[in-house]
């Protein structure tokens, strides 16, 4: 009995000593037992971020330059030492622009690649699939790419782990209707729209805004994003005799529509206006001469310090890419959030940062963002461009959706 008691005392003192050594070690490392060593994707010197960008399928014309812009900013940050001593490891997976493959791509990022957060999924439908995986698991998802991406639930409450940066297509529809009627003075429009979440929301708000200012949508044709024959669509919209045609959707199908109409010798009397996925110089290059004079909605300006820095870094590029610039500026936003969060980086502390430190945040490309615990919506300012000699040139100042509707 006496020997047993003595051994117990010795064991207790040894255990206490080991606990003291562990506490000192953790203090020296600036952490605790639940510190960054146990946070998925975060180590003492790296932060692994996942992204789903289609670089192999129908969205690659948009997503490939976005990814290049992402990498450009990350390389710049890593070369300067990273974020609080941690360098960013961006792991990219392509879902081939197919939303049925998106969940597997996201699952790979978090179940195999051990990512900390999700940054960008290209395509509204793809982003909405990704959210069904990340939001229930408490994984931050910043910048779903697509104006039809969900950032609220069915009751209109902010999804707690999704932060939208892009404007939504509903707001854009109102601005387009306002600009068409009040600046261009068109009274009737026809609409070519992608027949899914991308186009249906804008179809409604464009119709509302046209009616508000005495105009109307006289015809509309929906299409599938893989569609390549627009002969019938041209004939249907032409028959309605609109002043203008509004092009909604993605660069390849909308560009193909314009080329098809030109081949048939048709152009609306007041031309075309396209929504923001077409706001890149690659789009008029794809169309050719028939693109001259087309109006396009966009939401970024390079007349900022961030824009000028980007132009310096990409001075060897043969043509300005709005998609690549988008990747650069959105990565800046995400990196700013990581920096504001500090060295105690967890998914919860990042959530707190995004909800509290992004009020009237200067995006660096013109508009501001205001996020809170109850508002995770993106920007709502739009600028109108016009194709002149093959390039997009701004022809308006920023127009705020809240100023034109209701």
Contacts of 299 (CB under 8 A, 6+ apart): 166, 167, 276, 279, 365, 366, 367, 379, 381, 382, 383, 398
Which SS3 state, helix, strand or coil, does residue 152 take? strand
What is the CATH number that goes with domain 169-298+384-404?
3.40.50.2300
* pLDDT score at 35: 41
Contact 367, 379 (CB under 8 A): yes
Q: Where do the structural domains in the chain lie, given as residue ranges? A: 46-167+302-375, 169-298+384-404
Please report, for residues 38, 132, 331, 334, 344, the alpha-carbon distance to residue 44 in angstroms, rounded to integers and kept in the order given: 11, 30, 21, 19, 11
Compute CA 327 distance to the chain's CA centroid, rounded to the nearest angstrom: 8
Give the chain's residues under pLDDT 50.
Answer: 1-36
Kindly report, residue by residue over 209-219, the tens digit of the pLDDT.
999 999 999 99
Which SS3 state, helix, strand or coil, does residue 82 take? coil
- Evaluate whether 46-167+302-375 and 169-298+384-404 have a shared fold: yes
Place of tokens 């967890």: 346
* pLDDT score at 30: 37
Cα distance between residue 129 and residue 171, in whole Å: 22
Kindly report, residue by residue over 147-191, the tens digit of the pLDDT.
999 999 999 999 999 999 999 999 999 999 999 999 999 999 999
DSSP class per residue in 354-369: HHHS-TTEE-SSS-EE
* pLDDT score at 8: 39
* pLDDT score at 17: 44
* pLDDT score at 37: 52
- Omega before residue 283 within 30° of 0, cis: no
Contact 285, 390 (CB under 8 A): yes
What percent of the chain clears pLDDT 70, i.e. is strictly above it?
A: 91
The class level of CATH for 46-167+302-375 reads alpha beta
């Amino acid at each position: 009995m006496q020997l047993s008691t003595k051994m117990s005392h010795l064991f207790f003192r040894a255990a206490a000593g080991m606990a003291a050594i562990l506490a000192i070690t953790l203090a020296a490392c600036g952490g605790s037992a639940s510190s960054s060593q146990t946070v998925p994707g975060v180590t003492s010197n790296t932060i692994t971020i996942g992204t789903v960008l289609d670089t192999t399928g129908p969205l690659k014309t948009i997503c490939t330059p976005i990814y290049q812009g992402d990498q450009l900013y990350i390389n710049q940050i890593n070369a300067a030492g990273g974020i609080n001593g941690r360098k960013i490891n961006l792991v990219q997976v392509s879902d081939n622009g197919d939303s049925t493959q998106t969940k597997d791509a996201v699952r790979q990022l978090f179940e195999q690649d051990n990512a900390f957060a999700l940054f960008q999924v290209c395509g509204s439908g793809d982003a909405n699939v990704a959210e069904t995986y990340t939001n229930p698991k408490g994984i931050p998802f910043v910048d779903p790419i697509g104006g039809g991406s969900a950032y609220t639930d069915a009751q209109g409450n902010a999804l707690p782990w999704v932060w939208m940066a892009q404007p939504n297509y509903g707001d854009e529809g109102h601005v387009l209707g306002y600009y068409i009627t009040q600046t261009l003075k068109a009274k009737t429009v026809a609409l070519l729209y992608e027949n899914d979440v991308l186009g249906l929301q804008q179809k409604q708000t464009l119709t509302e805004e046209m009616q508000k200012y005495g105009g109307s949508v006289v015809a509309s044709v929906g299409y599938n994003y893989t569609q390549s024959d627009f002969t019938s669509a041209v004939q249907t919209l032409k028959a309605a005799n609109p002043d203008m045609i509004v092009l909604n959707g993605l660069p390849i199908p909308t560009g193909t529509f314009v080329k098809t109409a030109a081949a048939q010798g048709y152009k609306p009397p007041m031309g075309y206006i396209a929504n923001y996925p077409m706001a890149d110089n690659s789009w008029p290059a794809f169309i050719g001469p028939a693109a001259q004079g087309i109006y396009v909605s966009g939401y970024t300006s390079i007349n900022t310090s961030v824009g000028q820095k980007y132009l310096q870094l990409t001075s060897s590029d043969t043509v300005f890419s709005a998609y690549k610039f988008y990747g650069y500026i959105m990565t800046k936003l995400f990196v700013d959030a990581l920096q504001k969060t500090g060295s105690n980086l967890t998914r919860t502390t990042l959530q707190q940062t995004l909800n509290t430190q992004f009020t009237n945040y200067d995006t660096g490309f013109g508009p501001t963002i205001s996020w809170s615990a109850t508002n995770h919506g993106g920007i709502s300012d739009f600028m109108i461009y016009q194709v002149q000699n093959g390039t997009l040139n701004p022809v308006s100042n920023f127009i705020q959706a809240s100023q034109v509707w209701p």
